[in-house]
Structure 1
């Protein structure tokens, strides 16, 4: 049976491993003992118990992973010629996994909520509590950034703690620059209704010794000429993503460190090597993680093994999906044209999560 190693078990890696495990011997390697999603930062910060229910799920709970052998380890290297992946286990022991096909899905590092280090369940829980408690005790919060993570953080902090002054500072003329104008106009109204101060054209200067993995409290200065601002807590969601590719040879990476891929998600010049998700340089938005390319990749892996024709991934031109995450009045999901579709609040726990997400997308999640 063909041996497939899936390097990285975030959303894209898990979904790909599930599909491939129906027909092949699949090994998944992850620095976490569970899916710890990078989605819905605002919900993670403001209501961590609610976020954890749907976005922090132990691998043993996924029925689709029953046939996948999961390895809790940090990737350290790969020999593309010998087809062997090396890693360091949670106990420090060296690990070697041979493969016929390698799927690279190691994602990116982004702020304090998406870090690649080895963690136990206790470590993950401690991180969740620390960030939440830091914000809960603050009377003023500044959020720096113009992407969905920053906008979501500002909105959810403001609605959870209405007595806290919350301000969002972003560098462009508008936030959500990769979404449709309609999306931003709708989200901007929601921000104003929540009492968030929205400040356009502010490009923050990173403080000396800046660490992206923490919430700070120092004054924020701007290179665009505005006076500094102060807050008891500063959330940096500035989109400085770094691909988790330090374990890979430079020959398969682009100038920014992302994995080079062809339209069919294969790595050029490397038979049997594919990449998917935020780590794959599919398009400027690296959109395969948010557009269910796991089905296409699984098809292409099987097609390569069988000598059949592979299909190409066609990325959308704009970002789409949820921006603010579940709110008390429901969940808005934006189409690429900026038009929202609303899930009523009652349907999130009764329909969306149990039936569409857990059963439909993840093919069954145990309680």
Structure 2
């Protein structure tokens, strides 16, 4: 099962949040190659902060790969995945010059995530293109006098709250299809967040299910129609955060996928019938919430990969039954993180700057992160 050399070769296909964490875990015991369409970690987290405070978002959620100390021994390939030969154990990727290369593997980790709106796309991008994309959407919303946010998940709720707090003079409305938003969270979470939204001036509109236009993957300005019978609503900008995700699995054979196109996995995060092939994150069909993307399953996966290479038993991943974590992201007064039971754990602002980010996140979770350059200095 092992290519030439004393250490196994692991290819991590996709270096988003889950892929980077997995690569960091495996960098010492294996020769790791990571393939990414982006020039660094461009996280899909915290859409509200990304749109309203792009400088703050880029500091923590857009990190060039050479800033991660733990990836110093990892070779990164900047390209889009085009296919895999499961028998020959090779992955194929195409770079910006339209040249296709192959990467052999002993272990393949599929971590290509999902497409969702304009903030999660698998397009090949340079650092300049990532920066331009980030600033274009920010300026579009900054220029709008009124904004409709469509959706009932955390991305929509966070966007409405952060837009309202950054631009208190704007008219911000949140429309969602149920009687409450955040239905994947404990009901206590919405009780708390709905009060914060109202205090920030966000107008809440429950029981509004939008008729989806031909294209809702970007900010639009046409009136929104409702299948639930209410009159149309309009604003200068309409932000669609409806959670309509599609897995980035076009490069994979159909035999690996379930009916919705996600990668089938066993409880051990292994792809059935293919030794040495694993999947993690939003692309992996672990459970209805695909929760391995948010529950630090990278540690379990790295352990299982080492166990499989050594012929030891693998451990099963136990998914969470509810969504948990931060909803609004870090605010000037601090951060609230919700447990699966709906309790809020509060971190004051000073602890985020002095403890949470430098010690727990950058040093603990990411194993050391060099200082990021300011957003206006991100260049190829």
TM-score, normalised to structure 1, is 0.99
CA contact (8 A) 2:216 2:240 kept: no
Residue of structure 2 equivalent to 1:348: 352
Gaps of 5+ in 2: 1-6, 372-380
TM-score, normalised to structure 2, is 0.95
Select which of 174, 191, 199 maps to 1:168: 174
Shift of 1:216: 0.4
Shift of 1:110: 0.6
Q: Which moved more, 1:13-22 or 1:243-252?
A: 13-22
Shift of 1:211: 4.0
Q: Following the alignment from structure 1 to structure 2, what is the Cα–Cα distance between the partners of residues 292 and 247?
A: 25
Spell out the pairing of 1:197-236 with structure 2 (5 A cutoff). Answer: 197-207=203-213, 209-212=214-217, 214-236=218-240
Residue of structure 2 equivalent to 1:28: 34
Q: Which moved more, 1:346-355 or 1:313-322?
A: 346-355
Q: Following the alignment from structure 1 to structure 2, what is the Cα–Cα distance between the partners of residues 144 and 53?
A: 27
Query: What is the DSSP-based 3-state SS (H/G/I as helix, E as strand, rest coil) of the residue aligned with 2:79?
Result: strand
Q: Does 1:278 align with 2:276?
A: no
Spell out the pairing of 1:118-157 with structure 2 (5 A cutoff). Answer: 118-157=124-163
Spell out structure 1 runs of 4+ moving beyond 3 A.
Answer: none
Query: What is the DSSP-based 3-state SS (H/G/I as helix, E as strand, rest coil) of the residue aligned with 2:308?
Result: helix
Shift of 1:105: 0.2
Shift of 1:91: 2.2
Shift of 1:90: 2.2
Q: Following the alignment from structure 1 to structure 2, what is the Cα–Cα distance between the partners of residues 366 and 297?
A: 26
Query: What is the DSSP-based 3-state SS (H/G/I as helix, E as strand, rest coil) of the residue aligned with 1:221?
Result: coil
Q: Does 1:365 align with 2:369?
A: yes
Residue of structure 1 equivalent to 2:315: 311
Query: What is the DSSP-based 3-state SS (H/G/I as helix, E as strand, rest coil) of the residue aligned with 1:341?
Result: strand
Spell out the pairing of 1:79-90 with structure 2 (5 A cutoff). Answer: 79-90=85-96
Spell out the pairing of 1:232-243 with structure 2 (5 A cutoff). Answer: 232-243=236-247
Residue of structure 2 equivalent to 1:250: 254
Q: Following the alignment from structure 1 to structure 2, what is the Cα–Cα distance between the partners of residues 81 and 16?
A: 24
Select which of 47, 51, 60 maps to 1:45: 51
The alignment covers a number of residue pairs equal to 365
Q: Does 1:3 align with 2:9?
A: yes
CA contact (8 A) 2:145 2:170 kept: yes
Q: Following the alignment from structure 1 to structure 2, what is the Cα–Cα distance between the partners of residues 64 and 286?
A: 26
Question: CA 1:211 to 1:198, structure 2 compared with 1: closer, same or farther past 3 Å?
Answer: closer
Query: What is the DSSP-based 3-state SS (H/G/I as helix, E as strand, rest coil) of the residue aligned with 2:230?
Result: coil
Query: What is the DSSP-based 3-state SS (H/G/I as helix, E as strand, rest coil) of the residue aligned with 1:356?
Result: helix
